[in-house]
Copies of this chain bind each other. A is one copy, B any other.
Amino acid sequence: MADHVYRVVELVGSSETGLEDAINSAIDKAAKTVRHMRWFQVVETRGHIENNKVAHYQVTLKVGFSVEDENVSLAP
């Protein structure tokens, strides 16, 4: 079995409704251009306040995905 290599990118998702939706908004957006996502880790949870209410939650994620596929470029 070949040794696996993963790349980790940092994303910030946001949602007006809750923490899980903020996580999902980031992963949904990433899914449009990244394949083979495997895991995420929450690194920060913040939010904006407007008119004394939470306007939206912001969750910063690290997302790991496989770069096994030779056709996927690691170049930034």
Contact = CB atoms under 8 A, between A and B. Distances in A.
Interface in A3-58: 3-16, 18-34, 37-42, 44-49, 52-54, 56-57
B3 A74 contact: no
Q: Number of copies of this chain in the oligomer?
A: 12
Chain A interface residue number, banded: 35 or more
26 contacts: A1-B16, A3-B14, A3-B15, A3-B56, A4-B14, A5-B11, A5-B13, A5-B25, A5-B26, A6-B11, A8-B10, A8-B60, A9-B10, A10-B62, A11-B74, A18-B20, A27-B52, A29-B74, A34-B75, A34-B76, A40-B49, A41-B46, A49-B63, A72-B76, A74-B76, A76-B76
